[in-house]
Amino acid sequence: MIDTLRYDKAATLTGVLEGIKDYGWAVTPAPWTLPAHVSLLTGLYPSVHGSHETVDVKWQDIAAIRNRSPTLMMRLKALGYTSYGFSANAFISREFGFDGFDDLVNWNSNPILALTQLLRSMDERSLALFMQFWDSSRGSDLVSLMVYLLHQDPRLLSKFILEILRIVVMALKGDFVRGKGTKQATKFLKRTSFREPFFLFMNLLDVHEPYLRDDLVFAKGDSVKSTEAIPKPDLDAWVSGYDSQAKGLSKVVSTQLGILKERGLLDNSLVIITSDHGQLLGEHNWVGHGVFLFDELVKVPLLVKYPSDVELTPRRGHISLTSIPRLVLDIVQGRADDSSLYSARVFSESWGSYERTGAKTEGAPGASLLKERRTCVFTDSGKVTYNFSRGEVEEAVLEAGADGGEVEKMAGACIGFEDLNERIRRALA
């Protein structure tokens, strides 16, 4: 899993492994990490597994959103497999419900996870003071929070200071900018004694922001930001940073696959390379990810190296990351084709909030905050994105030969999909 890699930036990966099949692009079920990974490892869409933000639950509450559905690792364990995982992204952890790993290592991005958990333990007043500091960046607001915590719970204050210091140290070391756990991932592969048969999951964070030591684009941790609010030199440097990181992926992935090959663990393995979501680099006047369902966010690369006994034939249809668990289980249990990848329709979903212009309205914090829910569908007729919050089609891209009536049909498919999934979610709860 190469976090945040757009399908159109993945060309260098085509030759990383002999015999690898490039499917072009697949559709991620969500435009940000947590719900996309849960879908990838459960086979369920976000509106079914429920592990996603809502229009009201946001990042400070996100530690409360954990997966509760059976994972691919749990299903493989029942078939005699040992599961190993390495993640540079703090979301991919047992705290968020990624159960079934026999050995799961998180890179030291965990201060971010620890901070979100710490925020959950704060009372309403301390959380409000933290958000005031987050919005203002004023030292006086941070002091107000620390004084309050000192009186309320000195131990909580100590933990808060420790986690902030850990984040600062990582930022000063530059680990957030370039390395992002790549060296640690390579060491993990070298030192782990894999017990066969095994399942290995790896999340690489190389092309996820930040791309600059002093990231002026996402200094506040926004999901997306309007290009109107970003000076052009800062935007150009940010986009250049993404491209630079993407160009280095071929070497990173080749090195790590090479380690497995040298140990004789690759030839008879199923190898899947994909991403959880893309990144807006100024298209549609936005940068970042989450919230929207533009192609630059929901189309992700998919490359697969099959064991030698698998025969593939050309097929029609679309591919969702939700079909990955079915493919893995099919191959493991001896079904020698890729038919389980394809569907006539695939979807992506988003519950997001964003600033209308990328900046808060003066004197009324959050007044320009938009909270919207979207679903898009891909069919042979094209793509339609339906905005539930506005009750309208937001985007329609039709294939040649499709008529205008297809837009209404696909919008109806989005509405029907959400209604059905809501009923399924309630039945499974």
Residues 308 and 190 in one domain: yes
Token pair 């930036």 is at which residue? 9
- 76 lies in some domain: yes
Let me know if residue 27 belongs to a domain: yes
- Give the distance from CA 64 to its chain's centroid: 17
Helices (H), 79-153: 110-120, 124-136, 139-152
Q: Which of 294, 319, 344 is the last residue of a domain?
A: 344
> Do 148 and 274 belong to one domain?
no
Domain count, the chain: 2
Q: Is residue 59 part of a domain?
A: yes
Q: Is residue 403 part of a domain?
A: no
332 and 320 in a common domain: yes
Pick the closest to residue 95 from 57, 120, 118, 66 (CA basis): 66
Are 123 and 199 in a shared domain? no
**Are 6 and 296 in contact, with CB atoms under 8 Å apart?**
yes
Across the chain, which has 429 residues, the per-10-residue mean pLDDT values are 96 88 96 96 95 69 79 97 94 89 81 68 82 75 88 86 74 61 91 96 91 62 81 90 91 94 92 97 93 96 90 88 97 90 97 67 52 94 95 94 89 94 82
Residue 166 lies in a domain: yes
User: Does a structural domain hold residue 73?
Assistant: yes
What pLDDT, on the 0 to 100 scale, is given for residue 303? 96
pLDDT of residue 185: 92
For the chain, the distance separating the N- and C-terminal CA atoms, rounded to the nearest angstrom, is 29
Give me the pLDDT at residue 363, please. 42
Residues 190 and 248 in one domain: yes
- Assess if residue 386 is contained within a domain: no
Q: Is residue 229 domain-shared with residue 202, that is, in the same domain? A: yes
Q: What pLDDT score was predicted for residue 361? A: 40
Which H or E run includes 200? strand 198-203
C-beta neighbour count of 216 within 10 angstroms: 14
Q: Do 234 and 204 fall into the same domain?
A: yes
- Domain boundary, last residue among 306, 321, 344: 344
- At 364 the pLDDT is 43
Question: In the structure encoding, which two tokens stand for residue 258, read together?
Answer: 């090479």
> How buried is residue 416: exposed, middle or buried, by Cβ count under 10 Å (0-12/13-18/19+)?
exposed
Same-domain status, 282 and 191: yes
Residues 133 and 271 in one domain: no
Residue 393 lies in a domain: no
Same domain for 68 and 129?
no
pLDDT in the model for residue 66: 84
CATH of the domain at 19: 3.40.720.10
- pLDDT value at residue 106: 86
Q: Do residues 57 and 143 both lie within one domain?
A: no
Domain of residue 308 covers: 7-109+180-212+222-344
Residue 354 phi/psi, 5-degree rounding, is -160, 160
One domain for residues 188 and 138? no
Final residue belonging to a domain, choices 324, 344, 364: 344
